[in-house]
Structure 1
Amino acid sequence: MAQTASDRIVITVLGENRAGIVAAISKVLGETNVDIRDITQSIIEDIFTMTMLADMSAATLEFAELQKTLADAGDAVGVTVTVQREDVFKFMYRL
């Protein structure tokens, strides 16, 4: 299956730093067959930020289900997770 722009998603994570954040988010992506294409993270003082670019062309969940599952995983470790389609993200931020 050819990858389309709408198959690519941007995942942002923000919250207080603690152990297990990357593992919690990556676990959901692995279990739902979402491929992480790029990842960046930083910790400033105790604030954790992470941005991922991922491909969900082979995902086992629909977009809205994935959004909810990732949000729930974030809640469990005390961070906020936002998921947007890459084309929407680029339009919003005019990248």
Structure 2
Amino acid sequence: ITENNVTINKNIDTKIEANNTVINQNIENAINENNTTIINKVDKSVDVKIAENNKAINNTINNVNVRVDGIKGDLNGLTKRVDQNEKDIN
């Protein structure tokens, strides 16, 4: 009986270890899948935010460029008037 009990206990232990291995692998796979999903969602969110920030930066740069072009135009106009005034004075 004792030998049978030892054999039975070993068989039970072996089965439990095998089941634990399967359970652990299933848990690990599920965690990895969840992590991948989370990372993908975070990456998409970050990409969207970067695109929004880039758009805002580009719009600001365009606004500055328009103002600079306006100032250049004003400066050219003033330069022409100064040149004309110099001619008129001379």
Bigger CA radius of gyration: 2
> Under a length normalisation based on structure 1, what TM-score does the superposition of the two structures give?
0.18
Which structure has more helix as a fraction of its residues? 2
Which structure has more strand as a fraction of its residues? 1
Q: Which has the higher contact order (CA 8 A, sep 6+)?
A: 1
